[in-house]
Amino acid sequence: MKTQAVLLNAPRELSLEELRVTPPGPGDLVVEIAHSGISTGTEKLFYTGEMPPFPGMGYPLVPGYEAAGEVVEAGPDTGYRVGERVFVPGANCYEEAFGLFGGSARRVVTPADRVTRIDAALGPQGALLALAATARHAIAGRNTTIPDLIIGHGVLGRLLARLTIAAGAPAPTVWEIDPARMEGAKGYEVVTPDDDPRRDYHAIYDASGRADLLNDWVGRIVKGGEIVLAGFYTQPIQFAFPPAFMKEARLRVAAEWHADDMVATRALVESGALSLSGLITHTSDASDASQAYETAFSDPACLKMILDWTPSSSDAVGPQKETAA
């Protein structure tokens, strides 16, 4: 079996290629992908060549760990049926490329225990579940404090804010310095750091990836306050010890989502407690993947770029705005 897939042959060398796919076994599903998302965090680091050595890393590489589609073949041991809609967190099924992520393809083979059933009515938003589950993991981990300040109003920052409100906690403050990303808040305030005089935050969550600002955040917490690094950081993290010592600051690193995070996040979305609307700002036909990746990584107005793999998507022309949910 073969599939079309986005292929990174080397940093900044991206194209759409036809690749051989490993045959499915009795515990595998074959999923026809409808939509896949482009991550501006870890995927960007692979694209630019800045990703530190990572298990399973190498080129050529099929990127993508945010994908949703339909089961077209189901092994006898999977418990799935043809026609079910699923979220796929990537796939390692390519004979000619690394599949550390592997979700940006028209058709993938994946073990059934890696996917999650979703409501087909989610449409392209179904591809956002991994990022939403990552935000949920940061907030709902062990011995955590709900954020009262969030750094960055990208997709992760917005999800953190929405989950905070969904938890019944007071609305957080969100910092953003890019005018293009100041809008879109619902139920919370977005301000620049210079316009915020507060220095009594109990929990600051960083969704910007800017660990070089850690010293500034230490100055904004109460004694014993927590700073949560919810992004991905390629450089060694450093901070001045005396201010952190005086504040008895706590530092926590939030990793990727676990299976229980996905279950809980899906329930929040299906119940209406967590909205995924307004996060997809750009959609591109998969045949225009090269330009789509450039836009996703260079245009501040692009919160989330979705690649459309459906056959009818070839009629689309250029970036399209998500319709309001």
Q: Is residue 194 part of a domain?
A: yes
Q: Is residue 136 part of a domain?
A: no
| pLDDT for the residue 311 | 83
314 pLDDT above the threshold of 90? no
Both 122 and 270 in a single domain? yes
pLDDT bucket at 312, cuts 50 / 70 / 90: low
- Residues spanned by the domain of 152: 143-253
Q: Is residue 184 part of a domain?
A: yes
Region of 168 please: left (phi>0), alpha (psi -120 to 50) or beta: left
Both 10 and 75 in a single domain? yes
pTM for the model stands at: 0.91
| pLDDT for the residue 317 | 38
pLDDT 10s digits, 141-181: 777 899 999 999 999 999 999 999 999 999 999 999 999 99
Residue partners of 164: CB distance under 8 A and separation at least 6: 139, 146, 147, 150, 171, 172, 188
| pLDDT for the residue 144 | 82
Token pair for 145: 């404090």
CATH of the domain at 201: 3.40.50.720
Tally of CB atoms within 10 A around 8: 23
Q: Is 18 exposed, middle or buried (0-12, 13-18, 19+ CB in 10 A)?
A: exposed
Structural domains in the chain (count): 2
Element holding 108 (H helix, E strand): strand 107-111
Both 163 and 262 in a single domain? no
pLDDT 10s digits, 88-140: 999 999 998 988 789 999 999 999 999 999 999 999 999 999 999 999 999 99
User: What CA–CA distance (Å, rounded) separates 175 from 310?
Assistant: 37
Residue type for position 323: T
Query: What are the DSSP calls for 178-216, one per residue?
Result: -GGGS---SSSEEE-GGG-----EEEEEE-S--GGGHHH
Both 125 and 262 in a single domain? yes
Across all residues in the chain, what is the average pLDDT? 92
207 pLDDT above the threshold of 60? yes
Both 204 and 302 in a single domain? no
Both 147 and 180 in a single domain? yes
Both 106 and 57 in a single domain? yes
Both 120 and 268 in a single domain? yes
Among 210, 238, 253, the domain-final residue is 253
198 pLDDT above the threshold of 80? yes
> Taking a C-beta distance cutoff of 8 angstroms, is the pair 46, 61 a contact?
yes
Dihedral of CA 270/276/278/283: which sign?
negative
In what order do the strands lie in the sheet containing 201-206? 189-191, 173-175, 149-151, 201-206, 221-229, 250-253
Both 30 and 95 in a single domain? yes
Among 231, 253, 275, the domain-final residue is 253
Q: Is residue 76 part of a domain?
A: yes
Both 8 and 57 in a single domain? yes
| pLDDT for the residue 52 | 76
pLDDT 10s digits, 238-263: 999 999 999 999 999 998 899 999 99
Q: Is residue 138 part of a domain?
A: no
Q: Is residue 322 part of a domain?
A: no
Q: Is residue 81 part of a domain?
A: yes
Among 232, 253, 274, the domain-final residue is 253
Q: Is residue 135 part of a domain?
A: no
320 pLDDT above the threshold of 80? no
Both 248 and 105 in a single domain? no
Both 200 and 311 in a single domain? no
User: What CA–CA distance (Å, rounded) separates 68 from 52?
Assistant: 28
> Taking a C-beta distance cutoff of 8 angstroms, is the pair 46, 8 a contact?
yes
User: What CA–CA distance (Å, rounded) separates 7 from 97?
Assistant: 8
CATH of the domain at 59: 3.90.180.10
